[in-house]
Amino acid sequence: MKLLKLLFIPAFVFGFDIEFSKKFHHILPEDTLSANLIITIEDETESEINSRFKVFDKKIKTFKEIEKEYESFNIKPKYRHLNTTPKAIGYIGELKYKLNSDKAIYMDDFITALTDLKRFRDTQISVNNLFWTVREETFNVTLDLLRLEAINWGKTYSKNLSNDLKESCQIKSIKIDKKENFNDEQTPVKYERLLNSTKVAPIPEMEEERNLSITANYILECR
């Protein structure tokens, strides 16, 4: 009698996917005071404007407590229309810097030092878009740590789920979305200074914090 070898194949293999999301967050202190500096000077000649700007530029470069990022410098003619004909009556120079500091008192001292150099009414010193924010390096490192936390959490969860269901559950995919416009929610710091006044409203130290959050979307496959 011939023995028959039988191959048993399951009628089907039961499997299912589990989809869910989880939010991870970390609190970050606002550690950087940022501002835009604009110095404008009017004079009769380009050489006079250049000479006057050198005084400010020297002070800017030698003030070590503030991070300065040069943005632009330009000098252009100033015109007055006489009988519909434009006539050059002088020049306007503009110097722009981006400023960053970890202490409000440094920013205040820096602005005071520049203001003290102002000798003429045709010199304007403007500090705008002043706000506390989180340094970009700190933000990026924290974001990477949150992503790592989300991945490790997913691995641990899949192992625990496998034990509970007596199934083999594996991570099929993880899609991580970070909160957008994290640094676009700054509240401008109220700061007023009368350039020709001894009354100064100091820049307040900021003690607020920001919540950086990401959402991890998981798909687990169990068989």
Same structural domain, 74 and 99: yes
> CATH no. for residue 81?
3.30.70.360
Q: Please, are residues 170 and 221 in contact by the beta-carbon 8 Å criterion?
A: yes
Same structural domain, 39 and 59: yes
Domain total for the chain?
2
Sequence-separated (6 or more) residues with CB below 8 Å from residue 9: none
What is the per-residue pLDDT for 179?
61
Same structural domain, 108 and 178: no
Same structural domain, 209 and 153: yes
pTM, two decimal places: 0.69
Same structural domain, 95 and 124: yes
> CATH no. for residue 217?
3.30.110
Range of the domain at 63: 33-132
Same structural domain, 27 and 61: no
Same structural domain, 103 and 152: no
What is the per-residue pLDDT for 114?
93
Same structural domain, 47 and 73: yes
Same structural domain, 46 and 123: yes
Tokens 């008192």 label which residue?
105
Same structural domain, 94 and 179: no
Residue 2 lies in a domain: no
Read off the pLDDT of residues 73-95 as tens digits, 9 standing for 90 and up.
999 998 887 777 778 788 999 99
Same structural domain, 138 and 218: yes
Residue 162 lies in a domain: yes
What is the per-residue pLDDT for 7?
41
Alpha-carbon separation of residue 31 from 12, 35, 132, 135 (angstroms): 59, 14, 7, 6
Read off the pLDDT of residues 99-140 as tens digits, 9 standing for 90 and up.
999 888 999 899 999 999 988 888 999 988 888 888 888 899
Which of 86, 108, 132 is where one domain is finished? Answer: 132
User: In whole angstroms, what is the distance from residue 58 CA to residue 80 CA?
Assistant: 32
Same structural domain, 91 and 23: no
Which of 55, 37, 44, 35 shows the shortest CA–CA distance to 89?
44
